Amino acid sequence: MSLQADSKVAVLMGGRSAEREVSLMSGQGVLKALRSRGVDAHAFDPSERDLGELKQNGFTYCFIALHGRFGEDGTVQGALELLGIPYTGSGVMASSISIDKTMTKRVWLAEGIPTPKYQLVPRDRVAQQDVQALIAQLGLPMMVKAASEGSSIGVYKVTRAQDLPQALAMAAQCQADVLCEQFIQGDEVTCPILGEGDAATALPVIRIVAPEGNYDYQNKYFTDDTQYLVPCGLPAGEEQAIQTLVIKAYQVLGCKGWGRIDVMIDAQTRKPYLLEINTSPGMTGHSLVPMSAKAAGITYEDLCLRLLGSAGLEHPPQEMSA
């Protein structure tokens, strides 16, 4: 798709999720990049304005720089489908599945894609959960995660049995069910994907080396202590194998536009395990998709233009017959 000369673009940012702060940083970066290339782009915060204003104010495209719920979960995508305004990234179904770590795992496992063992604990049953049964199933250390949040919000690494009840309770405070997951010891990597269907391509893999192995919200966005290695320095053949695997994982979820998949590589077996997918990845100064794109020779501004150029609708409006 090529933008028309009179296109008016809304960069959706902020929103109501726990990732609002990061989304505002992403959105401002995208807004500046698009304007630098002559695009008539404007900031639009759905938590402060009604989405119906997009149509009323003549916006012809939306660049979704929202993260988390009410932005990355299919809700805003559905609204834009109803408004008939093309948008960046995945559609309604792929977005709603991908935001849910458990549903993503179910799809991947059905397609033979490796992901760590897990157990879902409903939010209203956290207090009654048999902690010893969880440990018997998944072992320690264990990852405890809010099942439908991103940016490492509501994520805890539990190394002692006595700490597990508190981790479950804290994850449940994110107003989500809790995903308990087998911990994979080894290299932590991430790989962005661009495109759709058979045309989807993987960007260079990034290896993440965080302080004490703790790649949390603070170390993601607000410190310079985390190392991001690109080229990733993995053994020969491993990077290509991971790229092939993440493309398949992206395709089976029906994703399009772009995404980023986080992977753990078992230190002993070198087997990769896919953790989750982000269908509206960060675009901040610390974000990984722009970093990987830069390693592939794609500037931040060109990446934004490319993503905007892929904007579309799953169900384009059709002319009514008389």
Which of 95, 278, 292, 310 is the catalytic position? 278
Instruction: Pick the catalytic residue from 20, 69, 207, 260.
Output: 260
**Please, which residues have CB within 8 angstroms of residue 112's CB and are 6 or more apart in sequence?**
none
The Cα 147–Cα 276 span in angstroms is 10
53 is catalytic: no
Catalytic residue among 259, 273, 276, 300: 276
Catalytic residue among 73, 100, 187, 262: 262
Q: Which strand ranges, in their side-by-side order, compose the sheet holding 8-12?
A: 40-44, 8-12, 61-64
Q: Answer whether 278's CB lies under 8 Å from 115's CB.
A: no
Is 278 catalytic? The answer is yes
Which residue in the list 151, 219, 287, 292 is annotated as catalytic? 151
Q: Are strands 206-209 and 118-121 parallel, antiparallel or unpaired?
A: unpaired
**Annotated catalytic residue 188:** no
Which of 14, 15, 19, 72 does the annotation list as catalytic?
Answer: 19
Catalytic residue check, 217:
no
| Catalytic annotation present for 280 | no
Q: Is 160 a catalytic residue?
A: no
The answer to whether 275 touches 19, Cβ cutoff 8 Å, is: no
A 10 A CB-CB count for 156 gives: 19
In the DSSP assignment, the letter for residue 299 is -
Active site (annotated) includes residue 260: yes
Q: Are 15 and 68 in contact (CB under 8 A)?
A: yes
Q: Does residue 276 have an active-site annotation? A: yes
> Of these residues, 87, 156, 215, 221, which one is catalytic?
221
Known catalytic residues are: 19, 151, 221, 260, 262, 276, 278, 282
